[in-house]
A and B are shown apart, each in its own frame.
Chain A
Amino acid sequence: MYDTGVVALDGVDLDVREGEIFGVLGQSGAGKSTLLRCVNLLERPTSGTVTVDGQDLTVLGDAELRRARRRIGMIHQHFALLSSRTVAANVAFPLEVAKVPRAERRARVAELLELVGLDGKAKSYPAQLSGGQKQRVGIARALAARPKVLLSDEATSALDPGTTQSILALLRRLNAELGLTILLITHEMHVIKSICDSAAIMREGRVLESGRVHDLIARPGSQLTRELFPLPEPAPPGSLTVTFPAGQAEEPVLSGLVRKFGVDVNILGGSLEELRGVSVGRLRIRMEGEDTAAALAYLRGRGLLVEEETP
């Protein structure tokens, strides 16, 4: 809460599992930036607790909090690099803060620059780099003190689509190789789509829903599903909206429906997405015929989520 009395976050309860990539999606002003800054207490919540790696940060004293922050890396929308320092010196900065000896710093910096694909840029200044390269420096710097958790504050929002993809791929790789837990906030659906295991949707300081992406999609009335597969809303009366969870989108369900139950199926709209390599889809149809009830049961029996719009 700010001293202006505006409630930026209200009753937010999020659980990010170790080793996952958790994305918080929301429009600007939804409170996601405040939420992220609460995790390392850049913003101190008026009530509640923040537990990172088993440690409640809200009870720590100044010195302890500074030590705890070293275990939490952070990357920023506008990179937040020091323009007066070279790439190597930027990456070394958190190590200086942690009073790591010079020789050790140098070795670690070389290692990190190689990890993010920036070897050879050590002596450049940030102003000489592209946006994507700057964010790679930001990532290397965030990882310097070997954190277990990485916070990402709209890290790809200032980048073009191609660069965004390469940065997301890097984050995915670091997550897999280092077991790094990543909590990111974004207003871009495709970030959630391409790298997140779990997601939360925020609006006006509250979390509307949160959980594993595939679980959310299988849940009726999911906001995430609606934003992921945009179809004209509200659904026309008498229509069916069928969500195909992980793996089901490749099955020839509709033709089976027509053959087995002799119903007519009219496709009103639909979309298919690839979520981390698995196809997931949403289809809006109108079904006419003798045995629509049995056809519906058949669809549900196949593990599909069917939402009916009463005529």
Chain B
Amino acid sequence: MSPEELVPVLWEATAETAQMVLWSTLLTAVFGLPIGVLLVTTGRGGLTPLPALNAVLGAVVNIGRSLPFIVLMVAILPFTRLITGTTIGTVAAIVPLTLGAVPFYARLVESAVRGVSREVVEAAQAMGARRVTVVLKVLLPETLPALVAGLTVTVVALIGYSAMAGAIGGGGLGDLAIRYGYQRFDTTVMVITVVLLIVIVQLVQSLGDLLARRLSHR
């Protein structure tokens, strides 16, 4: 490809990757956060022990975690169609991306929330705090740096998944590398996309680290 052709193609692919990753990150945070918190609070010795709900939640999260992303993506095609009306394209790719990342992030949230000492939680309860207050004013603020760090890891994973989503017409940089770089033997495109992906991941990670450090007062 000539540079004149390459630039708009690269630009479009980057925008598609950004769109897929940003939306699925947002949705992952929205669903993953409460699930992760519930995994802790409904567990043994939690704020509201609900063993049945905890077991079901844990099992569902494990199922989500045990499917390779490419299998998950294909397996839930009917669900994707139900939600977005299509199984092809960038928007359709957001559904499997979110579904793949939610269990992953929920586990990260779970382990972060578990890191809050029992003594701190009890201190809040001893002050007469309601359980919802303990979650909103103790558990979440205390784990915020870890939640941000976890989300950073999730974004990086989503960038990787989004390359696979290209296989069902999601577009993006991964798709570009496969179609031009691999299938058409265009080494230039391959090298450029690889470098671009590396740069994006580095940027995301550095930004996440910086933010987590800024938020931490430990």
Question: Which residues of A does B touch, CB under 8 Å?
Answer: 37, 40, 42, 65-70, 72, 74, 76-78, 80-85, 93-94, 96-98, 125-127, 145, 151
Partner of B137, one of A77, A93, A145: A93
B214 interface residue, CB < 8 Å from A? no
User: For A70, what are the chain B residues with a Cβ–Cβ distance below 8 Å?
Assistant: 127-128
A80 with B137, Cβ < 8 A, contacts A97-B129, A127-B217 known:
no
**A77 vs B141: C-alpha distance when bound (angstroms):** 22
Return A109 CB to nearest CB of chain B, in Å: 15
Partner of B123, one of A67, A68, A74, A96: A74
Q: How many A-B residue pairs have CB under 8 A?
A: 64
Partner of B119, one of A80, A85, A96, A127: A80
**A74 vs B128: C-alpha distance when bound (angstroms):** 11
Q: Does A83 contact B142, Cβ atoms closer than 8 Å? A: yes
**A83 vs B215: C-alpha distance when bound (angstroms):** 11
Question: Which residues of B does A touch, CB under 8 Å?
Answer: 117, 119-120, 122-130, 133, 137-138, 141-142, 144, 215, 217-218
A-B contact pairs, 21 of them (CB 8 A): A37-B122, A66-B130, A68-B128, A69-B125, A70-B128, A78-B117, A80-B122, A80-B123, A82-B138, A82-B141, A83-B142, A84-B142, A93-B124, A93-B127, A93-B137, A94-B128, A97-B127, A97-B128, A98-B128, A126-B217, A127-B218
Partner of B126, one of A42, A81, A127: A42
Chain A residue with Cβ nearest B125: A42
Q: Does A77 contact B119, Cβ atoms closer than 8 Å? A: yes
**A80 vs B126: C-alpha distance when bound (angstroms):** 11
For the complex of A and B, the 10 pairs showing the least CB-CB separation, nearest first, are A80-B123, A66-B128, A69-B128, A125-B217, A94-B127, A74-B126, A70-B128, A84-B141, A80-B119, A97-B129
